[in-house]
Structure 1
Amino acid sequence: MTERKRAEAALKASERQFHTLADSIPQLVWMADAQGAIYWLNSHWYEYTGRPTGEINQHGWHTLLGDRWIEALAAGTALESELSLLGKDGEYRPFLTRVVPLRDPGGVVYGWIGTHIDISERKRSEREVRRAKDAAEAALQNLRETQNSLIEAEKLAALGRLVAGVAHEINNPLGTSLTVVSSLEHKSELLASEMAQGTLKRSSLKEFVEAIRDGSAQLQQSLNRAAGLIQSFKQVASDRNNSDLRSFDLGDLTEQVASGLRPALPKHGVTLDVDCQRGLSMSSYPGSYGQVLTNLFLNSIAHAFPDGQQGKIAIKVSATGANDVEIIFTDNGCGMTPDVRRQAFDPFFTTRRHQGCTGLGLHIVYSVVTDRLGGRLDLKTEPGKGTRVQLTLPKVAPGTSEPE
């Protein structure tokens, strides 16, 4: 009897120590028998619920935890779940519940111990993070839509500048043609008058024939030039508006694009030289390639030659290896500082915002070369030493077949 009483006293002392420990932690702790009936809760439980022991439903977890608690009781396995508990202030708060079985030395479950951790702050943080994420995604989507709109506007603006340049250039041959036609009309009236009066001389007829010959040659030259400009521009514009891939000769296409670009050259001081290797068959996107050359050209005109500075722009096209072509675009203008070079391809970066530049020209070049055409781009530049852009493009665009 003495040994049994000593064991009972030790057990009660151990229980008091456990209860003291359980009351000292900030979690809600409870214990249940092997069938899941609660028989003890720590002091924090009563502080949270505001209810005395007698009002605690011994089998309340069957309702709160549902089928998972029943399965855990049957299998003797641990359980982790989230539930909401009503506090004494009448508010429900989320808790993370963990329940583990207590086993005797023989492995038989003789009880359960459970804890409830208040996760209100974590849930609140998750909601705030989710709202911030949704807001950031919405802002990013708006930014992408705005950027796409600006890129399309930049493309249209570049095409508009080319239209204006070509229209101005066409005025020259058309003006010459009108002058020649007007002169020939005047000479025809004089000749008709002399014939009507019977005073026509051999010398006058000879002079009229020579004027007709010279005028016809000038008209043919001027109109051929105008027709060539219009044809080149029509091809470039058609390619630019057509995003479909097709087979083409890279040299011929480069020459056509260059013909459309030359009218946009400043009237004095800047020249454009084109050197193309013949027979470079491509299966790619001619419109995208023309957009790249146009943007590089317009960027040089806008930035490389300030204050009417004279200079030269050159485009060289050649094969490199068996499957690639190389396009080297250079100018001998003012070049870029290291800081400008570092940001050159960033969207919306420009050194001439005050002049209406959007900072999308080179960004479009980089995006089209790397994404659309499947190529690589390298930029070398130094202040006062010009700029060199090297494009390496596959003869066959990604996802297409060999040109026939």
Structure 2
Amino acid sequence: MWSILKKSIWKYKELWVIIPMTTGILLGIRFLGLLQPLELSLYDLFFQWRPSEPIDNRIVIVAINESDIQKFGYPIDDDTLVNLLKAVKQQEPRVIGLDLYRDLPVPKKNNSGYQELLSIYTSTPNLIGIRKAIANREGDGVAASAILEKLNQFAANDLPPDRDGKIRRVLLSLKDKQGKTITSLSAALALQYLKAENIKLEVLDSQKQQYKLGKAIFSPMEENDGGYVRQSLGGYQILSNFRNFQDGFLVVSLTQILNGDIPQDIFRDRLVLIGITAESNTDYFITPYNSTVLGNSFPVTSGVTLHANIASQLIANALGERPVLRVWSKPIETLWIAIWSLASGLLCWSRRHAKPPKWSKFTFRIPRLALEITGLGTSLLIASYILFLQGWWIPVFPAFFALFTSTMVITSYKALSAGEARRRAIFSVIPDLMFNVNGDGIYLGQVNFDSSVELLYPDIENIGKHLSQILPQELSDRHLFYIHQAISTGELQTYEHCICVDGKYRDEEIRIVVSGANEVLFTIRDISDRKRAELAIHKKNAELAKTLDELKATQKQLVESEKYASLGSMVAGIAHEVNTPIGNSLMAASILENATNKFNASFNRGELKKSSLQAYLEKAKSSSEILSANLHRAAELIQNFKQVAVDRSSLEQRSFAVKDYIEKILTSLEPQLKYTPHQVIVQGNANITMQSYPGALSQIVTNLVINSLTHAYQGLDKVGLLQFTITQQGDKAIIIYSDDGIGIANENLAKIFEPFFTTARDKGGSGLGLHIIYNLVTQNLQGTILCESEMGMGTKFTIALPIRLPHSTTLN
């Protein structure tokens, strides 16, 4: 049992600190009186929220209102008062309270009424007059009628206001300057009324001034009762438990009584209070029912009505109809405040691991804890109001503040704890040594002490020591320099060093950042592995760079080989092409030579005939024509080849007509083209001239045509059309080359210009043709090339080249 209790106490250990702390702070605030205005305002509000009550038929108020004063004057003269008292006395009330100051006669004529008034005072033992026992601002009270004082038929009509002027306390008795105890008017009237009920005041504890009146027990109010704090008290006071002032009593006016316009026996066996209710009189008071925002506010209350209400309260208390308003003792109030603080604390604590609710998009997103705390606050208010109706005034605002303060403190503590836990979790997994040092170089301790970082120097033993006492001088001086740099500039300081530990070298990276006033945070990371890796990477990079250079050299050789292979293919084709006209020429020359020899033999023998001469001439003519035609063809082929070959081997720019030059290139490609069924056409503006490198253009055109012949028509039984279109756009010559072959697959389209990419490697393709084209266009000729293709529809290359290439551009 004890072990379970210990576990529970330890589980909520934070609450056992927060709850007493919160309760203690609130009790201190309450003791200072800072919550008194709020408590009194809620006290007033509870009165105003009370349900309406029936009229108390035991009390009748004779109200001297404004019209009575206008008719009879003020103060009311003795004759008028005599007539009033006779009319009231005639119906035999239990007690008559005269809430009028009559210390002096108020004659009407010849002082005749005053003697009769004194006679009535003497003959009416249940008549109680008033005096003001507490001095006013001028320092004097107001005496009662001398005859009434002599008969001891007077009472004090003083009412104790709070600091805000409201009457919330009831004065039952007080002592005058002579030390004589004077009963208050309300108490005197109530005691006189209750005599008929055989109820008398009994003393229960004279030292504690505890009295019993019927079913009610009265104890004097103390200065810190309820929401009051150090309230100055005089006389015997209790808390008010007022009735609802709205139409609470039977009221008749002076004029109604003197005119006989009152119900029969309205005063019989009742408590009758005579007083002024006229608005022009200053005998008005404010009560908890006046001046409110949330309750039912009534106008200010006349003194006579207030005394009637207090008397009604005392009579109802004695008869058990109304509870005496009481308060809890201070220990119980403290426990009450602590209970609400504990309730909110337990509720918040129980929610610390709760999963957040799943909200729908239509949900009004109020946190569950906020709703629960609001519900607790509402329950507190309702419980306090119900207890108030039962006659208990308990501390509400301290409990409210305890409820919400505990919630905020625990919520904040949870947030801080979660933040601290996250910080510790983060620090614990950081593989770096982290510690604080102040601006003077004093070691303040490790931050991530939960981490498994290897420590070169002990932590706890070095706290408070200077860095120079822990580290070698050179190392501590360097750290101090960067500490001062970080503090002066506010910027992160980063540096590396190499230290020797146990004969082994260790590389470290140090980061210093300002973490507080005159304080920095060190982060030290062991980067030995990183340094070794960097060294290995450096070596590998050197090897890779060497390999890359070798690959580039090999690629260059392959490109050159590809170029010369293309040129060699062209030479072979031209040689084969030239061989035909040369052979024809040789045959014609041989025929001519034979004919000449025969003609010469006939001439030498003298057998030359006209017919022989004619035959010889015909053979000579035909042979000459054959020789001329074939030699011209051979010369044309050689000339075109010579121009293209020179251009390919030359690094010089020159001006040339683009369309004418492409046609010459195609002429040199006729040996490759004549064994295919495909047709090559060139169209466009023949006047477009470029100042550029014709050899590069020759290589581009040759590679495009050869590429189409190699790849475009594989597996197709059709006569292909290879087409060059030349246009000009501004300072650009646009060469569009297209074929109607099988096209290029979409996944290969982005890779066609990459070196060594080919789909015909099994047929001897090197994958350098289009790569060479791309380099020639983009680098040598400073142009752009774009390829478009669709499977089954063919391929199109759009090449844009500057009309005039700057002379500073060199051919690579």
State the TM bucket, normalised to the shorter chain.
Answer: 0.7 to 0.9
Other-structure match for 1:124: 532
Other-structure match for 2:569: 161
Other-structure match for 1:91: 504
Q: 1:63 aligns with which of 460, 469, 474?
A: 474
Cα distance in 1 for partners of 2:515, 2:720 equals 87
Q: CA separation of 1:264/1:65 partners in 2, compared to 1, >3 Å: closer, same or farther?
A: farther
Cα distance in 2 for partners of 1:133, 1:174 equals 60
- 5 Å matches for 1:4-403? 36=441, 48=456, 58=469, 60-64=471-475, 69=480, 77=488, 80-88=494-502, 90-98=503-511, 116-306=524-714, 311-397=719-805
What's the offset of the Cα at 1:71? 7.5
Q: CA separation of 1:386/1:40 partners in 2, compared to 1, >3 Å: closer, same or farther?
A: closer
Task: Give the match's secondary structure for 1:229.
Answer: helix
Q: CA separation of 1:62/1:33 partners in 2, compared to 1, >3 Å: closer, same or farther?
A: farther
Native 8 Å contact 2:684 2:727 kept in 1 = no
Q: Which amino acid is the alignment partner of residue 82 of structure 1? A: E
Please tell me the root mean square deviation across aligned C-alpha atoms, in Å: 3.8
In structure 2, list runs of 5 or more residues that go unmatched: 1-423
Query: Which stretch of the first structure deviates more once superposed, 162-171 or 337-346?
Result: 337-346
| Equivalent pairs, count | 373
The superposition leaves residues 166-223 of structure 1 with CA deviations (integer Å, 9 ceiling, x where unpaired) of: 0000000000001001111111111111112221111111111111111111111111
Q: Which amino acid is the alignment partner of residue 120 of structure 1? A: S
The superposition leaves residues 35-85 of structure 1 with CA deviations (integer Å, 9 ceiling, x where unpaired) of: 6587989999995369x989x972744312556745856996586432223
Cα distance in 2 for partners of 1:33, 1:319 equals 77
Q: CA separation of 1:228/1:83 partners in 2, compared to 1, >3 Å: closer, same or farther?
A: same
In structure 1, list runs of 5 or more residues that go unmatched: 1-20
Give the number of the structure whose residues are more often helix, by fraction: 1
Native 8 Å contact 2:647 2:694 kept in 1 = yes
Cα distance in 1 for partners of 2:788, 2:514 equals 70
Q: CA separation of 1:87/1:271 partners in 2, compared to 1, >3 Å: closer, same or farther?
A: same
Report the TM-score when normalising by structure 1.
Answer: 0.77
Report the TM-score when normalising by structure 2.
Answer: 0.41
The superposition leaves residues 123-158 of structure 1 with CA deviations (integer Å, 9 ceiling, x where unpaired) of: 334334444544444444333332222111111111
Q: CA separation of 1:312/1:212 partners in 2, compared to 1, >3 Å: closer, same or farther?
A: farther
Native 8 Å contact 1:62 1:70 kept in 2 = no
Q: CA separation of 1:65/1:195 partners in 2, compared to 1, >3 Å: closer, same or farther?
A: farther
Q: CA separation of 1:233/1:351 partners in 2, compared to 1, >3 Å: closer, same or farther?
A: same
Native 8 Å contact 2:468 2:476 kept in 1 = no
Task: Give the match's secondary structure for 1:349.
Answer: coil
Task: Give the match's secondary structure for 1:343.
Answer: coil
Q: Which amino acid is the alignment partner of residue 798 of structure 2? A: Q
Other-structure match for 2:355: none
Native 8 Å contact 1:316 1:327 kept in 2 = yes
Q: Which amino acid is the alignment partner of residue 81 of structure 1? A: Y
Cα distance in 2 for partners of 1:386, 1:99 equals 65
Native 8 Å contact 1:327 1:390 kept in 2 = yes
Cα distance in 1 for partners of 2:622, 2:752 equals 52
What's the offset of the Cα at 1:291? 0.6
Native 8 Å contact 1:36 1:59 kept in 2 = no
Native 8 Å contact 2:487 2:520 kept in 1 = no
Native 8 Å contact 2:657 2:690 kept in 1 = yes
Native 8 Å contact 2:789 2:796 kept in 1 = yes
Native 8 Å contact 2:486 2:513 kept in 1 = no
Q: CA separation of 1:181/1:301 partners in 2, compared to 1, >3 Å: closer, same or farther?
A: same
What's the offset of the Cα at 1:312? 4.0
What's the offset of the Cα at 1:266? 4.0
Q: Which amino acid is the alignment partner of residue 395 of structure 1? A: I
Q: Which amino acid is the alignment partner of residue 58 of structure 1? A: Q
Q: CA separation of 1:320/1:394 partners in 2, compared to 1, >3 Å: closer, same or farther?
A: same
Query: Which stretch of the first structure deviates more once superposed, 301-310 or 150-159?
Result: 301-310
Q: Which amino acid is the alignment partner of residue 85 of structure 1? A: I
Native 8 Å contact 1:173 1:222 kept in 2 = yes
Larger Rg: 2
Other-structure match for 1:11: none
What's the offset of the Cα at 1:297? 1.2
Cα distance in 2 for partners of 1:264, 1:160 equals 13
Q: Which amino acid is the alignment partner of residue 278 of structure 1? A: A
Q: CA separation of 1:177/1:112 partners in 2, compared to 1, >3 Å: closer, same or farther?
A: closer
